[in-house]
A and B are shown apart, each in its own frame.
Chain A
Amino acid sequence: MGGEVPSPRRLTRALSSDSTSYLPDEALHLVLAHVDAPRDREAASLVCRRWHRIDALTRKHVTVGFCYAARPSRLLARFPTLESLAIKGKPRAAMYGLIPDDWGAYAAPWVAALAAPLDCLKALKLRRMAVSDDDVAALVRARGHMLQELRLDKCSGFSTDALRLVARSCRSLRTLFLEECSITDKGGEWLHELAANNSLLVTLNFYMTELKVAPADLELLAKNCKSLLSLKISECDLSDLVGFFKAANALEDFAGGAFYEVGELTKYEKVKFPPRVCFLGLTYMGTNEMPVIFPFSASLKKLDLQYTFLTTEDHCQLISKCPNLFVLEVRNVIGDRGLQVVGDTCKKLRRLRIERGDDDPGLEEEQGVSQLGLTAVAVGCRDLEYIAAYVSDITNGALESIGTFCQNLYDFRLVLLDRQKQVTDLPLDNGVRALLRSCTKLRRFAFYLRPGGLSDTGLEYIGQYSGNIQYMLLGNVGESDLGLIRFAIGCTNLRKLELRSCCFSERALSLAVLQMPSLRYIWVQGYKASATGLELLHMARPFWNIEFTPPSPESMLRMAVDGEPCVDTQAQVLAYRSLAGQRSDCPDWVTPLHPAA
């Protein structure tokens, strides 16, 4: 309850005294509870000690953007009542097999320091981290009864034994997310135990894992978990899921069931999807199987065709029946024709992903997608917020069109494939300038080209018009060190940068880093590396860790002959802001350059 109301004279207080001191703590709690935006939370935490304390107590979720940036003990000290935590580990390159398993990003120190003391922890998400069975056991021991969400995203190092433990002990679990994890499969009992012990599950995802499960256990899960909304599984023949679909009445989101016997439509005729399904992804679906979707295609909001055997013509036919799509994920077999259909039909589209297909041209009908398809999509789908595309050809005009028509773009990623020898409209300087100038909401940007794809001027444009972009991945851009420096000067808000296959020197990289005031993380692979990386010390400064992976022996030999560095694909540089000092768990092929060991 509150304290005294000030007497009438004190009501007319001077501006210089703290008016919020008259607010009881509970009220300030309630005020800050309504403050969600990260920037606002940051500001609130700096106002004064009282606000700092109450911000820490009312913040529901914290993300540790890079696990080596801070110590777990510091997180605990500042946010002792945290309910939800996310930690990110290995560089994104790990997703493309470029980071060996022993690189680091171990979950162990975080679990050891936090699992027990964080009394209110209900949700944990780890991305690209090394997680062992012991780590999961420690987590479950401390938090099992309270855990509502466990997300292990692209993690590795654990087995189904850990999942059994989770299944047995975490009876409050609503979300179990394991997408793209490398999990040692010691048997499918974990799913049976999950189905038997849990009745609250809403989301289960073990998509793109190699786990083998029994359809009967999925059916049991559906029967016991009436609120199951989302299920994404590893491969399992769709015809075995008839029972599951019958039981899973509330299901809205399904991915992973495979058509093992392509062409045998009679086998799949019995498959009836639950009535509310509107997010769908089916593996190995071919022309003959496609009709299973037709009855409810108009209610589909999300469609994943990345793992299907559909031709360009199939895509045209199917997508023309899906006018309510918000999210579409395809391979570039969709072709420009398919993208035209998307532009004509999918007026509500927000996210579009066009993955690369098999590079064997025999399997793909069309020559991939080009400026024609992208322009058609831009013109037709004005609500697009996310575009990721592997293209075979692109023009400045297409980039300009995207800028003109897709004003809501938040995330844009373009990769120019090596398929076509000649790409006529290079460099893309003017196109990228137009796109960046127009799309003021852009926060994430990736541009991966080929030599000649972007000149130093174009690279300078990217920096100049970077606006509020926080993350960039650039590959094969620019011509010289000068381009990089000019780019860096423009990037006032860039926080995270990944560079691949570029011609820049170590000295230029160092100087560029020093030009970017908001940069807290840079990763480079494929550049003119020296044997020792010592030129990187030009960017040495407090709270800035520099880790170096030397070039390949072949490149070292060439350097000895030529007297200067060549572009090497093996050398890597990782540099990042850290309050935890140099990390102590580097593998022997990574050399910490700063702080000195």
Chain B
Amino acid sequence: MAATTADGSKVVGGGEKSNVDEESKMITLFSSDGERFEVTQEAAAMSQTIHHMMEDGCVDDEGVHLPNVGSSILAMVIEYCNRHVASPDEKEDIRSFDAGFVNVEHHTLFDIIRAANYLDVKELMDLCCQTVADSIKSKSVEEIRELFGIVNDFTPEEEAEIRKENQWAFE
């Protein structure tokens, strides 16, 4: 028997609370631009930041506000967490999911890294940082600078000194 409560959200059965559904233990997350995301507590707990908040009882009925994470990035992080708690043992599937997940442009990858850093999702941080590391491999200095749009701020003398050290002194 369905009924509508005062705030307009639907409930099932009688007398159950609306926003925190006891059966699947959901939690609400709000991105910086105000969008609302429902996730299981289990998936949310992959973020150590949110996990600590839940443990410390800082999560109220409304949910968790994340002023540092935009909606598009938060959606991706949630997708990652959902996938990883769903079937943590299916290594092959997870590997191909991860490979597809990081197949994005650098600035998106960096935004995910920032979000994962803020939310403290270790596995996601490792995955993305490894991906960035892989993109550096076997590249020359100039290629790395170009890839990330980095400006060389060494003086010619400093750069020459480091090159000599690298080639002659320290491996």
Interface residues of A (CB under 8 A from B): 1-5, 8, 11, 13-20, 22-24, 26-27, 30-35, 37-40, 42-49, 51-52, 62-65, 69-70, 74-75, 78-79, 518, 520, 543, 577-579
- How near does chain A come to B145, taking the closest CB pair, in angstroms? 6
Q: Quick check: which of B34-42, B66-74, B80-88, B89-97 contacts chain A, the rest being far away?
A: B66-74
Interface string of B42-60 (1 = CB under 8 A from A): 0000000000000000000
Q: Known: A5-B32, A34-B133. Is A63-B150 also a contact (CB below 8 A)?
A: no
Is the CB–CB distance between B68 and A2 below 8 Å?
A: yes
Interface string of B159-171 (1 = CB under 8 A from A): 1001111111111
Is the CB–CB distance between B107 and A11 below 8 Å?
A: yes
Distance of A35 Cα from B132 Cα, bound (Å): 10
Residue numbers in A under 8 Å from B118 (CB-CB): 1-2
Task: Judge if B138 is at the interface, Cβ distance under 8 Å.
Answer: yes
Is the CB–CB distance between A46 and B129 below 8 Å?
A: no
Q: List 26 A-B contacts (CB under 8 A).
A: A1-B68, A2-B68, A2-B118, A5-B69, A5-B73, A11-B107, A19-B106, A20-B110, A22-B111, A27-B110, A32-B133, A35-B137, A40-B136, A43-B144, A44-B136, A44-B144, A46-B163, A48-B145, A48-B152, A48-B154, A65-B169, A78-B170, A79-B170, A577-B164, A579-B164, A579-B169
Residue numbers in A under 8 Å from B132 (CB-CB): 31
Is the CB–CB distance between A5 and B168 below 8 Å?
A: no
Residue numbers in A under 8 Å from B154 (CB-CB): 46, 48-49, 52
- How near does chain A come to B40, taking the closest CB pair, in angstroms? 24
- How near does chain A come to B61, taking the closest CB pair, in angstroms? 25
Residue numbers in A under 8 Å from B171 (CB-CB): 38, 62-65
Interface residues of B in 87-126 (CB under 8 A from A): 106-107, 110-111, 113-115, 117-118, 125-126
Nearest-neighbor residue (CB-CB) of B130 within chain A:
A34
Is the CB–CB distance between A23 and B107 below 8 Å?
A: no
- How near does chain B come to A17, taking the closest CB pair, in angstroms? 5
Candidates A15, A40, A63; contact of B137 at CB < 8 Å: A40
Is the CB–CB distance between A70 and B68 below 8 Å?
A: no
Interface residues of B, count at CB 8 A? 47
Closest 3 CB pairs of A and B: A34-B133, A70-B169, A577-B168
Is the CB–CB distance between A48 and B153 below 8 Å?
A: yes
Is the CB–CB distance between A22 and B114 below 8 Å?
A: yes
Distance of A3 Cα from B67 Cα, bound (Å): 10
- How near does chain A come to B129, taking the closest CB pair, in angstroms? 4
- How near does chain A come to B100, taking the closest CB pair, in angstroms? 20
Residue numbers in B under 8 Å from A34 (CB-CB): 129-130, 133-134
Nearest-neighbor residue (CB-CB) of A1 within chain B:
B118
Residue numbers in A under 8 Å from B145 (CB-CB): 47-48
Task: Judge if B149 is at the interface, Cβ distance under 8 Å.
Answer: yes
Interface residues of B (CB under 8 A from A): 32, 68-70, 73, 106-107, 110-111, 113-115, 117-118, 125-126, 129-130, 132-134, 136-141, 144-145, 148-154, 159, 162-171
Is the CB–CB distance between B162 and A46 below 8 Å?
A: yes
Candidates B68, B126, B139, B165; contact of A5 at CB < 8 Å: B68
- How near does chain B come to A581, taking the closest CB pair, in angstroms? 13
Distance of A44 Cα from B142 Cα, bound (Å): 10
Is the CB–CB distance between B117 and A2 below 8 Å?
A: yes
Is the CB–CB distance between A49 and B168 below 8 Å?
A: no
Candidates B149, B164, B170; contact of A543 at CB < 8 Å: B164
Residue numbers in A under 8 Å from B170 (CB-CB): 62-64, 70, 75, 78-79
Residue numbers in A under 8 Å from B32 (CB-CB): 5
Candidates A18, A35, A38; contact of B151 at CB < 8 Å: A18
- How near does chain B come to A58, taking the closest CB pair, in angstroms? 11
Is the CB–CB distance between A23 and B165 below 8 Å?
A: no
- How near does chain B come to A535, taking the closest CB pair, in angstroms? 24
- How near does chain B come to A208, taking the closest CB pair, in angstroms? 27
Q: Known: A23-B110, A48-B151. Is A43-B129 also a contact (CB below 8 A)?
A: no
- How near does chain B come to A344, taking the closest CB pair, in angstroms? 39
Distance of A12 Cα from B113 Cα, bound (Å): 17
Q: Known: A2-B118, A22-B110. Is A47-B165 also a contact (CB below 8 A)?
A: no
- How near does chain B come to A246, taking the closest CB pair, in angstroms? 41
Distance of A36 Cα from B110 Cα, bound (Å): 21
Distance of A15 Cα from B152 Cα, bound (Å): 15
Distance of A31 Cα from B153 Cα, bound (Å): 20
- How near does chain A come to B82, taking the closest CB pair, in angstroms? 21
Q: Known: A35-B137, A46-B159, A69-B168. Is A24-B144 also a contact (CB below 8 A)?
A: no
- How near does chain B come to A15, taking the closest CB pair, in angstroms? 6
Is the CB–CB distance between B114 and A27 below 8 Å?
A: yes
Is the CB–CB distance between B114 and A69 below 8 Å?
A: no
- How near does chain B come to A558, taking the closest CB pair, in angstroms? 37
Is the CB–CB distance between B141 and A46 below 8 Å?
A: yes
Distance of A147 Cα from B81 Cα, bound (Å): 40
Candidates B69, B114, B149; contact of A23 at CB < 8 Å: B114
Residue numbers in B under 8 Å from A39 (CB-CB): 138
